[in-house]
């Protein structure tokens, strides 16, 4: 089971009026929400702990502990807990002040059931994000061994880690399949590090980056004078990797002539440097990486494929890894903060939604780049970065942001601009944007905006 799975969020409903409480609970249950009822505050206090998967909906006027005192107690334990107040007509000013003290929202009696459901839905979404962040942070803090290198809780990634452990000790050739940016070299290095060859070199070659005329010298090395520019002897990658692991990235780009020569090396475990007749014995393990099935490619030799195809590892696209996306994003953010300084900041609900809706054509590599910018630019958002993000040269397509994300990012930018212009003066922001205070508070919380970031 995914360790990041959050238990269903309960609504803890507190009201000393049994009729109001039972009616409200019925509305909520008819909308498929789990509700736990309390008739007095002490019972709720006794059961509440940090990290409890709940939101609280509480009346203000109660004895002996009123709703504001209860809110203060709960928020002192967990200051981000979504706490919704139910008020009578005379308590509206008190409830507005409570928003400044951390209340998520308030509902004025008699309230519209639809308004209740809308407020509860937003609070539950926020709570899910909060608890997922907490679980992710704990998970990342507990990582060790291979889990610290190949991070993720997706079933396919768990299988990849299991295959690495299995194949590492078998000392056979391996083909790693995956799109650009999925982490093929990371997997190859993990295979090497987990194998008995880990004290010998790990040598990586990107076959697509080597000009065809230099390929033979790069792999086999050469003797001095072997060709015009060969001023001295050079040890090739195959020879240098002997005893260890040779990683051939984008092997489908290897010229056919070199495929034939590589096949002979792997069959005979020996080579000759360019310009030499001396046989050099080598001991190689090859991990080859490709974007598509080598067996189906016309320009890839079938005999070389069968020589390499002892074991296979398939890496999933990032967009298919579900909850691993925010998990990896937090990991890269924490790495950036640790290496370059600054403060780690949690994702807002809209940033969390943007991460999961975006298609990530550049996979983990693209995610890492976006996380780096997010970590180092404190007043930006994920949507803003992605809207102007230029994909890597080897990314074929850009995934457009969904319209809902674009609309919300536009709204966020307007609110942020006003807060900056008014230097954090919320009253002036309210007047400029012509918004109720409660609405502004909700939107600032949704978009992760904090007035203190804009004070002089």
Q: How many CB atoms lie within 10 A of CB 206?
A: 14
Tell me if 149 sits within 8 A of 130, measured CB to CB.
Answer: no
Which of 308, 329, 304, 307 lies closest to 318 in space, CA to CA?
Answer: 329
Residues 6+ apart with CB under 8 A from 436: 430
pLDDT value, residue 89: 67
Q: Specify whether 167 is located in the same domain as 49.
A: no
pLDDT value, residue 140: 86
Query: CB pairs under 8 A, 24+ apart, for 328-331?
Result: 328/151, 328/152, 328/364, 328/367, 328/368, 328/371, 329/355, 329/367, 329/370, 329/371, 329/374, 330/133, 330/136, 330/137, 330/140, 331/140, 331/151
Domain C-terminal end among 276, 294, 315:
315
Tell me if 429 sits within 8 A of 218, measured CB to CB.
Answer: no
The Cα–Cα gap between 305 and 299 comes to 11
For 63, the domain range is 10-141
Q: Specify whether 104 is located in the same domain as 209.
A: no
DSSP state of 165: H
- Extract the tokens encoding 286: 């090859």
Q: How many CB atoms lie within 10 A of CB 397?
A: 9
Residues 6+ apart with CB under 8 A from 163: 311, 313
Q: Specify whether 331 is located in the same domain as 306.
A: no
Strands (E) located in 207-338: 221-222, 234-235, 245-249, 270-271, 280-281, 285-290, 311-314
Q: Specify whether 44 is located in the same domain as 130.
A: yes
Domain assignment present for 150: no
Q: Specify whether 176 is located in the same domain as 134.
A: no
DSSP state of 28: H
The Cα–Cα gap between 252 and 207 comes to 8
Whether the CA torsion 420, 103, 442, 336 is positive or negative: it is: positive
Cα dist from 344 to 6, 43, 97, 330, 333, whole Å? 22, 36, 29, 9, 7
CATH at residue 349: 1.10.8.60
Q: Which residue has the tokens 């926020």?
A: 126
User: Which secondary-structure segment (H or E) carries 351?
Assistant: helix 349-357
CATH at residue 292: 3.40.50.300
The Cα–Cα gap between 424 and 427 comes to 9
The Cα–Cα gap between 259 and 431 comes to 71
Q: Specify whether 161 is located in the same domain as 300.
A: yes
Q: Specify whether 294 is located in the same domain as 424.
A: no
Domain count across the chain: 3
Domain assignment present for 382: yes
Q: Specify whether 281 is located in the same domain as 215.
A: yes
Domain assignment present for 36: yes
Q: Which residue has the tokens 């608890």?
A: 131
User: Which secondary-structure segment (H or E) carries 18?
Assistant: helix 18-30
DSSP-derived 3-state class of residue 361? coil
Domain assignment present for 252: yes
Angle at 379 (CA atoms; ends 341, 362), nearest 5 degrees:
80
Domain C-terminal end among 275, 298, 315:
315
CATH at residue 33: 3.40.50.2300
Domain assignment present for 147: no
Q: Specify whether 281 is located in the same domain as 401.
A: no
pLDDT value, residue 167: 96
The Cα–Cα gap between 206 and 184 comes to 12
SS3 content of the chain, % helix, strand, coil (to 5): 50, 15, 35
Q: At what angle do helices 437-446 and 92-100 cross, to 10 degrees?
A: 30
Strand partners, 56: 12, 83
pLDDT value, residue 217: 87
Q: Specify whether 212 is located in the same domain as 242.
A: yes
Return per-residue pLDDT of the chain as tens, 456 residues: 344 455 689 999 999 999 999 999 999 999 999 999 999 999 999 999 999 999 999 999 999 999 999 999 999 999 889 999 998 866 778 888 888 888 998 888 888 888 899 899 989 988 988 888 888 888 888 888 899 999 998 899 999 999 999 999 998 999 999 999 999 999 999 999 999 999 999 999 999 999 988 898 889 987 876 676 767 888 889 999 999 999 999 999 999 999 999 999 999 999 988 888 889 999 999 999 999 999 999 999 999 999 999 999 999 999 999 889 999 999 999 999 988 888 888 888 788 888 888 889 899 999 999 999 999 887 788 888 887 754 443 344 446 666 666 677 777 777 887 887 788 888 888 888 888 887 888 788 777 777 777 776
Q: Specify whether 390 is located in the same domain as 417.
A: yes
- Extract the tokens encoding 57: 């909906």
Domain assignment present for 146: no
Q: Specify whether 279 is located in the same domain as 306.
A: yes
Give CA 404 to chain center in angstroms.
20
Domain assignment present for 449: yes
Domain assignment present for 45: yes
Q: What does the radius of gyration of the chain's CA atoms come to, in whole angstroms?
A: 29
Domain C-terminal end among 257, 289, 315:
315
φ, ψ dihedrals at 393, nearest 5°: -60, -30
- Extract the tokens encoding 445: 């919380």
What are the residue ranges of helices labelled H in 86-173? 92-100, 113-141, 155-170
The Cα–Cα gap between 26 and 28 comes to 5
């Amino acid at each position: 089971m995914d360790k990041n799975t959050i238990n269903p969020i309960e609504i803890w409903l507190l009201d000393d009026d049994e009729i109001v409480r039972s009616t409200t609970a019925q509305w909520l249950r008819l909308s498929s929400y789990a509700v736990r009822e309390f008739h007095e505050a002490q019972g709720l206090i006794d059961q509440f702990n940090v990290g409890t998967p709940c939101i609280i909906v509480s009346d203000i006027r109660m004895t002996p502990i009123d709703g504001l005192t209860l809110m203060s107690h709960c928020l002192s334990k967990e200051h981000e807990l979504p706490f919704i107040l139910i008020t009578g007509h005379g308590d509206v000013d008190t409830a507005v002040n409570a928003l400044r003290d951390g209340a998520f929202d308030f509902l004025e009696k008699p309230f519209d059931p639809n308004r209740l459901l809308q407020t509860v839905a937003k609070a539950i979404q926020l709570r899910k994000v909060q608890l997922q962040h907490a679980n992710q942070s704990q998970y990342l803090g507990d990582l060790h061994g291979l889990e610290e290198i190949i991070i993720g809780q997706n079933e396919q990634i768990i299988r990849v880690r299991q295959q690495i452990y299995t194949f590492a000790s078998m000392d056979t050739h391996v083909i790693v399949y995956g799109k650009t940016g999925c982490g093929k070299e990371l997997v190859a290095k993990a295979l090497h590090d987990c194998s008995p060859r880990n004290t010998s070199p790990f040598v990586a070659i990107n076959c697509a980056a080597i000009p065809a005329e230099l390929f033979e010298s790069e792999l086999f090395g050469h003797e001095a004078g072997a060709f015009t520019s060969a001023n001295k002897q050079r040890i090739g990658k195959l020879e240098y990797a002997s005893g260890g692991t040779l990683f051939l990235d984008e092997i489908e780009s290897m010229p056919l002539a070199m495929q034939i020569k590589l096949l002979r090396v792997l069959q005979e475990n020996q080579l000759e440097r360019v310009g030499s007749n001396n046989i050099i014995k080598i001991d190689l393990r090859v991990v080859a990486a490709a974007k598509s099935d080598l067996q189906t490619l016309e320009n890839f030799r079938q005999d070389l494929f069968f020589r390499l195809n002892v074991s296979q590892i398939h890496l999933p696209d990032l967009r298919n890894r579900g909850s691993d996306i925010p998990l990896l994003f937090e990991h890269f953010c924490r790495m950036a903060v640790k290496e370059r300084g600054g403060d780690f900041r949690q994702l807002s609900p809209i940033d969390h939604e943007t991460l999961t809706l975006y298609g990530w054509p550049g996979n983990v590599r693209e995610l890492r780049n976006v996380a780096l910018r997010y970590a180092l630019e404190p007043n930006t958002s994920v949507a803003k970065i992605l809207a102007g993000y230029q994909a890597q040269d080897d990314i074929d397509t850009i995934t457009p942001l969904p319209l809902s994300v674009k609309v919300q990012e536009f709204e966020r930018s307007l609110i942020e601009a006003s807060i900056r212009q008014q230097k954090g003066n919320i009253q002036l922001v309210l007047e400029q944007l012509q918004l109720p205070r409660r609405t502004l508070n909700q939107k600032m919380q949704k978009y992760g905006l904090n007035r203190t970031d804009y004070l002089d």
